Amino acid sequence: MTTVQTNHGHVREPQALLLHGFPFNAAMWREQIDFLDARGVPVLAPDLRGLGENRFDGEVATMDDMARDVAALLDEFAVDRAIICGLSMGCYVAFEFVRLFPSRVDALILCGPRAQGPDAAERRSREEQARRALVEGMDFALESISTKLLAEQTLTQKPDVVKRVREMVLSTDPRGAAAAQRGMAVRRDYADDLLHIEVPTLIIAGREDGVRTPEDGEFVRRRIRGAKQVVIEYAGHLMNMEQPEVFNRVLADFIRTIKHEVSQARP
Ligand code: MLT
């Protein structure tokens, strides 16, 4: 999957833009693309630089580069503004996007976000992961599926989800994974940027997320005026794949609350 686009020609409908996490691709949003599409909400879901089918040969893919790619994609589809929904690395890209192009954001949905920048230990660890991806391929990254990524219920009762996650990790190009790791290693500390965000914001956390905890989400919530956080039970880091019905309901409720505002703001 590269860029998924659905379009109902409803120019006054809000447009959703879905930004995936690492080391995944736009296919992680399958249930949300179908759900929003069925409700007449146009969706764009790109593979970010170096991931999925978006091949990239450079050594570093920064969050800033990815945000500018996203802006170019919106231009290509003649979309002025969108509701930006990111998951984990997708949240870093969303933070960059709203900083660089605030007038193009109708609202933010931040799934498993973290605002703080990397310290020296994190930078070293990311460089090591980048090196391992290049030397060993992506197999080593599978370990985190059972240790950190997915909730207990997903691991024991949802083999299809586990299989999809494994397949996404293994299909990731190691060069792209290394470039994204190095990009995340040099990302900004977004904590102060959050104080300037002025759009409706929803944070979604997985109760059992071992990568980005609900406390990370709470840190973000406190810094964005008016933001709300919803914690999904029996979900880990990939909460949208693990509990798609609950996740989609939360998504639809939020979009409904901001829809009127968004329609009014459109020409
Ligand atoms: C992700 O899911 O995008 C990653 O956990 C982000 C990160 O490594 O910080």
Rounded CA-CA distance 96/86 in Å is 11
Rounded CA-CA distance 125/252 in Å is 37
State pLDDT tens for residues 147-162: 899 999 999 999 999 9
Strand partners, 84: 17, 108
Q: In sequence order, what are the residues at sequence separation of 6 or more whose Cβ sits closer than 8 angstroms to the Cβ of residue 78?
A: none
- Are 260 and 253 a contacting pair, CB within 8 Å? no
- Asked if the 2-262 domain carries CATH number 3.40.50.720, the reply is no
- Report whether residue 36 contacts ligand 1, using a CB cutoff of 6 Å: no
State pLDDT tens for residues 106-140: 999 999 999 999 999 999 999 999 999 999 999 99
Cα 248 to averaged position of ligand 1 atoms, centre (Å): 21
Ligand 1 atom closest to the CA of 89, numbered from 1 = 3
State pLDDT tens for residues 191-216: 999 999 999 999 999 999 999 999 99
pLDDT at site 119 = 98
Ligand 1 atom closest to the CA of 238, numbered from 1 = 2
- Report whether residue 66 contacts ligand 1, using a CB cutoff of 6 Å: no
pLDDT of residue 266 exceeding 70: no
pLDDT at site 258 = 87
Average pLDDT over residues 173-189: 98
Q: In sequence order, what are the residues at sequence separation of 6 or more whose Cβ sits closer than 8 angstroms to the Cβ of residue 126?
A: 118, 181, 182, 184, 185
Ligand 1 atom closest to the CA of 112, numbered from 1 = 2
Query: pLDDT: is 186 or 6 the higher one?
Result: 186
- Report whether residue 88 contacts ligand 1, using a CB cutoff of 6 Å: yes
**Whole-prediction pTM value?**
0.95
pLDDT of residue 25 exceeding 70: yes
Average pLDDT over residues 170-196: 98
Q: Would you list the domain boundaries of the chain? A: 2-262
Cα 34 to averaged position of ligand 1 atoms, centre (Å): 24
Rounded CA-CA distance 109/83 in Å is 7
DSSP 49-104: TTSTT----SS---HHHHHHHHHHHHHHTT---EEEEEETHHHHHHHHHHHH-GGG
pLDDT at site 267 = 52
pLDDT at site 146 = 84
Cα 74 to averaged position of ligand 1 atoms, centre (Å): 24
- Are 110 and 221 a contacting pair, CB within 8 Å? no
